[in-house]
């Protein structure tokens, strides 16, 4: 999921990180550290965009992260209206239309579709000022999209706004986080002790069901000059 497993580490940073694909895959990622959030999502976007046949939808409410990721060049141009969209109903309508169309198509000749829901803890009605109807609607979307090659990747600083949604995510990734997030996502406190030392190798725990795997986080120092060389650095 994130690259090199630490148990097989040879003290080298992973440079070929793939996002594993299976039907109905949804991922929730929580981490307080901005660099962790950037590096995980950047690696996923890079590797998904290596595929020729796919749709990438990005909705990002964190303008700093949007700028660092250069998301205007990462998303499908036909779906650019959703980049900074703050109307969850428009996004949900679009997802429901995809689900309805694919549910009626027995041929299943669909392009894999990935929605990157970035910083949705800032999305009114979903992450803040929670609208229970909106959360119930999102639960249905997560459930109904299984087997339709529609994958939702949700990035948040804390898991609290999405605790009721956690059972609907196949994969949970916890980077450096607070006590409640670690407990809710991993049913333990392991995330509290991950990579607190800024000089230590960045680590996240990836949980699938009851199985947990510790991964290195793709480390990339965020500076303006290096961002200009981003594509070169990521494919070394």
- Tell me the mean pLDDT in the region 205-225: 71
- The whole-number pLDDT of residue 40 equals 86
Angle, to 10 degrees, between the axis of helix 132-144 and the axis of helix 88-103?
A: 30
Q: Which domains does the chain have, with CATH numbers?
A: 6-234 (3.40.50.300)
Asked whether the beta carbons of 60 and 119 are under 8 A apart, the reply is yes
Residue 229 predicted with pLDDT over 50: no
**For residues 171 and 185, what is the distance between their CA atoms, to the nearest angstrom?**
10
Q: Give per-residue pLDDT as tens, 34-57.
A: 888 888 888 888 778 777 788 899
pLDDT of residue 100: 95
Lowest mean pLDDT among 36-40, 204-208, 210-214: 210-214
Mean local confidence (pLDDT), 190-217: 76
Average pLDDT over the chain, rounded to an integer: 80
- Give one DSSP letter per residue of 119-175, joined into a string: TGGGSBTTTBS--HHHHHHHHHHHHHTTTTTEEEEEEES-SGGGGGGGGG-SEEEE-
pLDDT of residue 140: 96
Span 49-86, pLDDT tens digits: 777 788 899 999 999 999 888 888 888 888 888 999 99
**Segment 102-155, tens digit of pLDDT:** 999 877 888 889 999 999 999 999 988 878 889 999 999 999 998 888 999 999
Confidence of residue 235 (pLDDT cuts 50, 70, 90): very low
CA–CA distance, 190 with 12 (Å, rounded to integer): 23
Q: Half-sphere exposure (CA, 13 Å, Cβ side) for 213? A: 15
pTM of the model: 0.84
| Banded model confidence at residue 15, pLDDT cuts 50, 70, 90 | very low
Nearest to 57 by CA among 109, 116, 106, 9: 116
State yes or no: pLDDT of 10 exceeds 50.
no
Q: Answer whether residue 158 shows pLDDT above 80.
A: yes
94 pLDDT tier (thresholds 50, 70, 90)? very high
- Given a contact cutoff of 8 angstroms between Cβ atoms, the answer to whether 110 and 149 are in contact is yes
The pLDDT of residue 192 is above 50: yes
25 or 37, which is more confident:
37
Confirm if 150 and 113 have CB atoms less than 8 A apart.
yes
Backbone angles phi, psi at 34, to 5 degrees: -60, -40
């Amino acid at each position: 999921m994130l690259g090199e497993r630490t148990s097989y580490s040879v003290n080298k940073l992973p440079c070929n990180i793939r996002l594993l694909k299976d039907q109905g895959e949804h991922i929730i990622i929580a981490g307080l550290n901005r660099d962790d959030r950037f590096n995980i999502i950047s690696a996923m976007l890079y590797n998904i965009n290596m595929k020729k046949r796919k749709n990438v939808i990005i909705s990002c409410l964190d303008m700093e992260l949007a700028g660092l990721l250069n998301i205007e060049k990462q998303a499908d141009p036909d779906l650019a209206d959703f980049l900074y969209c703050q109307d969850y109903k428009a996004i949900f309508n679009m997802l429901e239309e995809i689900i309805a169309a694919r549910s009626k198509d027995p041929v299943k000749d669909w392009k894999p579709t990935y929605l990157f829901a970035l910083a949705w803890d800032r999305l009114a009605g979903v992450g803040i000022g929670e609208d229970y109807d909106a959360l119930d609607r999102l639960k249905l979307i997560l459930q109904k999209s299984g087997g339709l090659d529609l994958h939702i990747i949700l990035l948040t600083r804390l898991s609290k706004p999405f605790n009721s949604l956690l059972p609907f995510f196949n994969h949970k990734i916890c980077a450096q986080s607070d006590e409640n997030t670690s407990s809710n996502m991993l049913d333990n406190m392991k995330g509290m002790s991950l990579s607190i030392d800024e000089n230590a190798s960045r680590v996240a725990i990836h949980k699938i069901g009851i199985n947990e795997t510790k991964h290195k986080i793709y480390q990339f120092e965020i500076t303006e000059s290096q961002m200009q060389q981003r594509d070169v650095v990521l494919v070394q």
